Chains A and B, each alone.
Chain A
Amino acid sequence: MTVLTQLTNDSIYGALMNVKDPEIDTVSILDLGMVEDVSVEGNDVKVVLLPTFLGCPALEIIEKNTVEAVQKVPGVSNVDVEFIFSPPWTSDRITEQGHAGLRAFGIAPPPRHFEEDGSWHVDCAYCGSTYVTMDNIFGPTACRSILYCKSCKNVFEAMKPISTLM
């Protein structure tokens, strides 16, 4: 006799914790706040994701990795991943755990606040010093900027703040 496993959202979320950002392996798509919805119908699972940046080449990899990870959950037959724009992904969706994961990777988490002129400030990802300068607002990937720490003389990266107020 076959024992059917009752699929739960929890088991799917558990699997999604293993889907890491392809370029930052210390944060998952859950930590980044990219998972908008998970729904289970019988043995079929639908995962709704929010793209961080529209042109982000990692999105296809994330989609593939999501399907693979969810497929491994016992009882799952079909996995459907959909990207939607609304609500828009914003950097304040990154969780506390996500902030910790970014720091562990050497990337300063996105600041929560903007100055009145639209500029923003982060502390050094390595030494925590506040004496940093913006080197290039555009970093190696769409979502990161490059900064320089005048205290420890390291170049470091920060996640760009992204908000609907922009």
Chain B
Amino acid sequence: MSNERVALKELLFQLADDDFLISYRGSEWLGLAPHIEEDVAFSSITQDTMGHATMYYNLLEELGEGNADALAHLRSSAERRNSVLAERVNGEGYYMETPIYDWAYAVVRNYFYAQAKRVKIDSLRESSYAPLAEGAVKVSMELHYHLMHWRTWFTQLMSSTDEAEKRMTNAIKLVMEDFGDIFSYGQYKEDIESAGLIATEEELTKNWIAALTPVFESLGLAVPTIPAPVKNGRNGEHTDELDTAIATLSEVYRLDVEAVW
């Protein structure tokens, strides 16, 4: 297989797994958001995002990687290419029992993630792989509303009470600890970048900072620095939290992989 082919598939797995895991974490919030309006909004965003993951998995299926549903459900954590940020639990506890989820963390994670996705999608619209460029145009229109939504929560909570600010500051710290691999292409950096599939890691990082700067400036803050990755999800390095997520999310699918749900 040519280097370009490998690079394309690696990139698609990174994009697919990112959206798949973050929307799985979003789905765990169903019924638990701070108010009913937010529950409607968050679940709508989650549904859109799951649709984006499906689009990428379908592109992989067309490239001969196997059935899209199987790609989503049956791959082990070592095969996953999502950022560590996307796999993190929402907080303590299990959603079926007594979850103590952290709304500040949800807001910061989703805002920073949506903005990262925005700069990637903007670049993917010019991708050398036409089906990906076409898909990016579709994602872009839906993402517009997601980003607006999380930005609103972020700025409102950051300029609210002392308690809110304390929790948000703590959440920013937590999110940034896992942000090191967000713009990483892992060991395929060179092949992905030279294939013209998407902009370089450095360019995306620069664009992300530029997009957040006015928001942070208006709050009198500096955009946090992106650290080097501790674990790089793009190379299949993950936390136990991903193993648990995969076991849970694929439980029903594994019962009968032939079933039409």
Contact: A55 with B50, CB < 8 Å? yes
Which of A55, A137, A164 touches B48 (beta carbons < 8 Å)? Answer: A55
Residues of chain A whose beta carbon lies under 8 Å from any beta carbon of chain B: 51, 53-57, 84-86, 88-90, 118, 135-142, 146, 160, 162-164, 166
Complex CA–CA separation, A90 to B138 (angstroms) = 9
Q: Which of B37, B55, B134, B141 has the most CB of A within 10 A?
A: B141
Contact: B144 with A54, CB < 8 Å? no
Q: Interface of chain A, helix or strand or loop or mixed?
A: loop
Contact: A142 with B138, CB < 8 Å? no
Contact: A53 with B51, CB < 8 Å? yes
Q: Give the nearest-CB partner of B139 in chain A.
A: A54
Residues of B within 8 A of A54 (CB): 48, 51-52, 54-55, 138-139, 142
Contact: B138 with A138, CB < 8 Å? no
Contact: A142 with B137, CB < 8 Å? no
- Known contacts: A55-B50, A135-B37. The answer to whether A142 contacts B141 by CB under 8 A is no
Q: Give the nearest-CB partner of B47 in chain A.
A: A55
Complex CA–CA separation, A107 to B52 (angstroms) = 26
Which of B40, B137, B148 touches A88 (beta carbons < 8 Å)? Answer: B137
Complex CA–CA separation, A88 to B139 (angstroms) = 10
Residues of chain B whose beta carbon lies under 8 Å from any beta carbon of chain A: 37, 40-41, 44-45, 47-52, 54-55, 131, 134-135, 137-142, 144-145, 148-149
Q: Which of A51, A53, A89, A118 has the most CB of B within 10 A?
A: A53
Q: Give the nearest-CB partner of A161 in chain B.
A: B141
Contact: B134 with A166, CB < 8 Å? no
Residues of A within 8 A of B145 (CB): 137-138, 160
Which of B41, B131, B135 touches A137 (beta carbons < 8 Å)? Answer: B41
Residues of A within 8 A of B37 (CB): 135-136, 146
Contact: B54 with A85, CB < 8 Å? no
Contact: A142 with B40, CB < 8 Å? no
Contact: A56 with B51, CB < 8 Å? yes
Residues of A within 8 A of B41 (CB): 136-138
- In the A-B complex, list the 7 residue pairs whose CB atoms are closest, starting with the nearest: A55-B51, A54-B51, A138-B41, A166-B144, A138-B44, A86-B134, A85-B134
Shortest beta-carbon distance from B142 to chain A in Å: 6
Complex CA–CA separation, A85 to B41 (angstroms) = 24
Shortest beta-carbon distance from A54 to chain B in Å: 3
Shortest beta-carbon distance from B121 to chain A in Å: 11
Contact: B48 with A162, CB < 8 Å? no
- Known contacts: A54-B52, A166-B140, A166-B141. The answer to whether A139 contacts B134 by CB under 8 A is no
Complex CA–CA separation, A6 to B131 (angstroms) = 35
Contact: B148 with A142, CB < 8 Å? no
Q: Give the nearest-CB partner of A140 in chain B.
A: B40
Q: List 10 A-B contacts (CB under 8 A).
A: A53-B48, A54-B51, A55-B50, A118-B148, A137-B145, A137-B148, A137-B149, A138-B40, A140-B40, A160-B145
